[in-house]
Amino acid sequence: MKILITLSVIFTLIVVNGCQHASIYDCTGVTPTYKNNVKPILDSYCAMPNMGCHGANRAASGINLSDYANASAASSKKSFMGSIEHLTLYKNMPQGGVKMPDAQIHVLSCWVSNGSPE
């Protein structure tokens, strides 16, 4: 009986954790592009020239968000939005800083949901 309860709890945690990655933002009519909407956000919080952790010169943890090809590749990983949204089990980004405003997280979330268009 204890094994059944333990398995039920583990299954529930897996399901709940999997649901955390779904976008909580309504992206109806919101189609941000990298060039017009996403790059300015990433440049401000992640890939600041000469001091950003995820710029071309530094690329902390191998993550470079300074150009479309690299940012698009990074956005395909669950950790991209999980870290930005400060979800459990992810390293909060920006590291050591405050969470981005919801409006900017919304833009990034919709960009990812729409396939990370250039």
Kindly report the number of other CB atoms within 10 A of residue 43's CB atom: 15
pLDDT at 9 over 70: no
CA dist 43 → 4, 18, 19, 35, 110 (Å): 49, 29, 29, 11, 18
Residues 6+ apart with CB under 8 A from 33: 111, 117, 118
Residue that wins the pLDDT comparison between 23 and 72 = 72
The rounded radius of gyration (Å) of the Cα atoms in the chain is 16
The predicted-structure confidence for 31-90, as pLDDT tens digits, reads as follows: 999 999 999 999 999 988 767 789 888 889 999 999 999 999 999 999 999 999 999 999
**pLDDT at residue 99, as a whole number:** 94
Are 81 and 92 contacting, i.e. CB atoms less than 8 angstroms apart? no
Predicted pLDDT at 14: 43
* Residue 3 pLDDT: 61
Instruction: Give the dihedral of Cα atoms 50, 98, 81, 6; nearest 10 deg.
Output: 140
pLDDT of residue 12: 43
Q: Is the pTM of this model over 0.95?
A: no
| Banded pLDDT at 2 (limits 50, 70, 90) | low
